[in-house]
Homo-oligomer: A and B are copies of this chain.
């Protein structure tokens, strides 16, 4: 409306210049300005141009994308169910105060709802905080659940790499007081199963422990008050080189260069049981209570992972920090390694596809009496996996079906709409997936073409002679073979011919 007013003012200015018989050049200049303004408004009527798009950082899923998405969800859900998880759902928004103070530096990325009277609300930022709120609110001290839903972050989107402002998380968490590292090991087993199942190529799961990090910071001479902010710096090591992280620590965050260098030595370490054993003997770390606890549990974890037979893909990595504030113990992150067929010599990480860890204090933050419920969980970052599978499918030119229709009900002659409607109704009522064209007298060629285009394997053709004979002509699209089937046997015949082997 403001733009329209500006156009009107400009038109009035032009009119006045003409009336005043002003310099033709000046009139021409002002007319050009007017035309440009009108063009921006999208048309002579001055009707504002409507922007036809989805909000920044979001996208629609068309039928093909949905087919991929459902395939991925299928694999993930069946893994979660294999591990005996229940499922819950929570609202897409929470009271604003529920999210306050849970995400550290990332809080600025939370979407708030407009105050339209009533409660102040924010869109959920992850599924972990709503889960903790759910546990505290319902006084649940013991649950193994999954939750698949969209979360919202006002981050800079990078859509080709699968980074969106609205994106799915697939979370599996185990809450309850149990013996050390048994649920933690199961979470890693789950990541291993899902990434193997989806065949995304080689991957590695990095593991660390917040207690080892805190112990490391302590023995390196980081003051207590700087643990969290230095931890945030370490978290950047998967994206930027050590030199930059070091200068952030020393420059922006005021850490002594000596402390930073000591950290620098630790964070380049990664390995397996051998490294854990070595650090348990480390003269400084072994003196720190937290680090010793963390290392002891890490050793136990590796023993369990050995029994699961998955240590080949696990790397104990002292540079892994994870951004979120709420972790208290084991943390982990799964990274896809560059595909070999892309002919790159080094194995470069193409990004994290799963992450998680232990957060024993979060539920207590919601409980009126501060009662703690220890939790450990994993979140599968589905969007990056979608991008990879989408790109792969496009490259392969594999044709993907977007419906499950078993048969098209067609007719060879005109004026058989009623007979098609009767037959398709019979098929639907018998549970057969059937379609027909919504035309009174469609051409047979168009009906057959529709099957080719959409992958429908069978055509049930109604014809006058066949109706008299009590049969339906069944055409197999792939072979063009046609057989007459007695009407009462049609359902059985379609079932047989379209059953999955």
Contact = CB atoms under 8 A, between A and B. Distances in A.
Interface in A15-70: 42, 49-56, 58-63, 66, 69-70
A216 interface: no
A211 B84 CA distance: 54
Contacts of A95: 51, 53-55
B178 A438 contact: yes
Given A116-B112, A307-B425, A428-B189, A58 B366 contact: no
Contacts of A114: 111-115
Interface range on chain A: under 10, 10 to 19, 20 to 34, or 35 or more? 35 or more
A371 interface: no
Interface stretch (A132-140, A257-265, A331-339, A482-490): A132-140
Contact of A438 (B53, B70, B182): B182
Copies of the polypeptide in the assembly: 2
Nearest to A442: B179
Nearest to A62: B88
B54 A91 contact: yes
A81 interface: yes
A449 interface: no
Interface string A62-85: 110010011000000000011111
Interface stretch (A218-226, A246-254, A398-406): A398-406
Contacts of A53: 95, 137
A368 interface: yes
Given A59-B91, A60-B134, A150-B92, A435 B52 contact: no
A312 interface: no
A176 interface: yes
B116 A154 contact: yes
Contacts of A51: 95, 97
Q: Which of A56, A143, A186: most chain B Cβ within 10 A?
A: A186
A501 interface: no
Interface of A: 42, 49-56, 58-63, 66, 69-70, 81-95, 97, 111-116, 118-119, 121, 123, 133-134, 136-138, 143-145, 150, 152, 154, 166, 174, 176, 178-179, 182-183, 185-186, 189, 193, 304, 307-309, 366, 368, 402-405, 417-418, 421-422, 425, 428-429, 431-435, 438-440
6 contacts: A42-B368, A50-B97, A60-B134, A62-B88, A111-B116, A304-B421
